[in-house]
Amino acid sequence: MKITGAEAIIKCLEEQGVDLIFGYPGGAVLPLYDALYGSNITHILPCHEQAATHAADGYARASGKVGVVFATSGPGATNTVTGIANAYMDSVPMVVFTGQVALSLLGKDSFQEVDITGITMPITKHNYIVKDAQRLPNIIREAFNIARSGRPGPVLIDVPKDMQTTLLDYEPMSVSVEYESCNIYSKTCMDEDELKANINQAARLLSEANSPVIYAGGGVIISRAHEELRAFAEKLKIPVVSSLMGLGGFPANHPLFLGLVGMHGSRYANYTVSNSDVLIAIGARFSDRVISNVRRFAPNAKIIHIDIDPAELGKNIRVDVPINGDVKTILKELLDMVPEKAFNGWNKQVQQWREQYKLKTDFGSGQLKPQYIVQKIYELTQGFGIVTTEVGQNQIWAAQYFNYAEPRSFISSGGLGTMGYGLPAAIGAQLARPDRRVINVAGDGSFKMNSNELSTAVKYKLPIVEVILNNHALGMVRQWQRLFYQGRFSHTTLGVDTDFVKLAQAHGAEALRITKNEEVEDALRHALSITDRPTLIECDIDNDEKAYPMVAPGAGIDEIIDE
Partner 1 sequence: MKYIIGILVQNHAGVLSRVSGLFSRRGFNIDSLAVGPTQDEDVSRITIVVDGDEYIVDQVMKQLGKLIDVIEVKDITANSVARELVLIKVNADSKTRSEIMQIANVFQAKVVDITTEFITIEATGKSNKTLALEEMLRQFGIKEMVRTGVVAIERGDKSLGQQ
Residues marked active site are found at 49, 111-112, 161, 476
138 binds partner 1 (CB under 8 A): no
- Interacting residue with partner 1 among 121, 173, 197, 483 (CB under 8 A): 121
The torsion defined by the Cα of 341, 344, 346 and 352, in degrees rounded to 10, comes to 130
8 Å CB contact between 54 and 424: yes
Contacts of residue 203, defined as CB under 8 A and 6 or more positions apart, other chains included, come to 334, 337, 338
Q: Diameter of the chain by CA atoms?
A: 73
- Interacting residue with partner 1 among 197, 311, 337, 530 (CB under 8 A): 311
30/22 Cα distance (integer angstroms): 15
Contacts of residue 181, defined as CB under 8 A and 6 or more positions apart, other chains included, come to 223, 308, 326, 328, 329
Q: How far is the CB of 327 from partner 1 (least distance, A)?
A: 18
Count of residues that bind partner 1 according to CB under 8 A: 20
- Interacting residue with partner 1 among 314, 366, 487, 554 (CB under 8 A): 314
295 binds partner 1 (CB under 8 A): no
Q: Which is nearer to partner 1, 214 or 313 (CB)?
A: 313
Q: Which is nearer to partner 1, 7 or 162 (CB)?
A: 162
Write the CA distances from 93 to 84, 173, 204, 212, 224, integer angstroms: 10, 21, 35, 32, 14
Q: How far is the CB of 71 from partner 1 (least distance, A)?
A: 20
The stretch among 93-101, 125-133, 201-209, 476-484 that binds partner 1 (CB under 8 A) is: 125-133
Reading phi first (left if > 0) and then psi (alpha if -120 to 50, else beta), residue 179 is in beta
- Interacting residue with partner 1 among 186, 200, 201, 455 (CB under 8 A): 186
- The span from the first CA to the last CA of the chain, in angstroms, equals 69
The torsion defined by the Cα of 484, 485, 491 and 493, in degrees rounded to 10, comes to 60
309 binds partner 1 (CB under 8 A): yes
Type of residue numbered 214: I
Q: How far is the CB of 97 from partner 1 (least distance, A)?
A: 18
Name the DSSP letter for residue 493: B
553 binds partner 1 (CB under 8 A): no
Q: Which is nearer to partner 1, 32 or 123 (CB)?
A: 123
Residues 139-178 that bind partner 1 (CB under 8 A): 146
Type of residue numbered 208: E
Name the DSSP letter for residue 516: B
Q: How far is the CB of 310 from partner 1 (least distance, A)?
A: 5
The stretch among 30-38, 181-189, 254-262, 522-530 that binds partner 1 (CB under 8 A) is: 181-189
104 binds partner 1 (CB under 8 A): no
The stretch among 26-34, 313-321, 381-389, 476-484 that binds partner 1 (CB under 8 A) is: 313-321
188 binds partner 1 (CB under 8 A): yes
Q: How far is CA 203 from the centre of its chain?
A: 30
Q: How far is the CB of 162 from partner 1 (least distance, A)?
A: 17
Residues 348-367 that bind partner 1 (CB under 8 A): none
455/286 Cα distance (integer angstroms): 38
The torsion defined by the Cα of 247, 253, 255 and 260, in degrees rounded to 10, comes to 30
Q: How far is the CB of 516 from partner 1 (least distance, A)?
A: 49
The stretch among 209-217, 304-312, 334-342, 375-383 that binds partner 1 (CB under 8 A) is: 304-312
107 binds partner 1 (CB under 8 A): no
Helix (H) or strand (E) holding 480: helix 475-484
- Interacting residue with partner 1 among 34, 64, 126, 528 (CB under 8 A): 126
Q: Which is nearer to partner 1, 38 or 122 (CB)?
A: 122
- Interacting residue with partner 1 among 19, 75, 185, 544 (CB under 8 A): 185
The stretch among 85-93, 309-317, 373-381, 414-422 that binds partner 1 (CB under 8 A) is: 309-317
Q: Report the half-sphere exposure of 282 (CA within 13 A, side-chain side).
A: 35
Residues 447-486 that bind partner 1 (CB under 8 A): none
Beta bridge partners of 512: 537
- Interacting residue with partner 1 among 4, 53, 82, 117 (CB under 8 A): 117
- Interacting residue with partner 1 among 2, 38, 178, 187 (CB under 8 A): 187
Buried b (16+ CB within 10 A) or exposed e, 436-470: bbbbbbbbbbbbbbbbbbbbbbbbbebbbbbbbbb
- Interacting residue with partner 1 among 17, 75, 118, 299 (CB under 8 A): 118
8 Å CB contact between 277 and 154: no
Q: In what order do the strands lie in the sheet with 67-71?
A: 42-44, 20-24, 67-71, 94-100, 154-160, 126-129
- Interacting residue with partner 1 among 122, 345, 364, 495 (CB under 8 A): 122
Instruction: Name the site residues for partner 1 (rule: CB under 8 A).
Output: 117-118, 121-122, 125-126, 129, 131, 146, 185-189, 309-311, 313-315
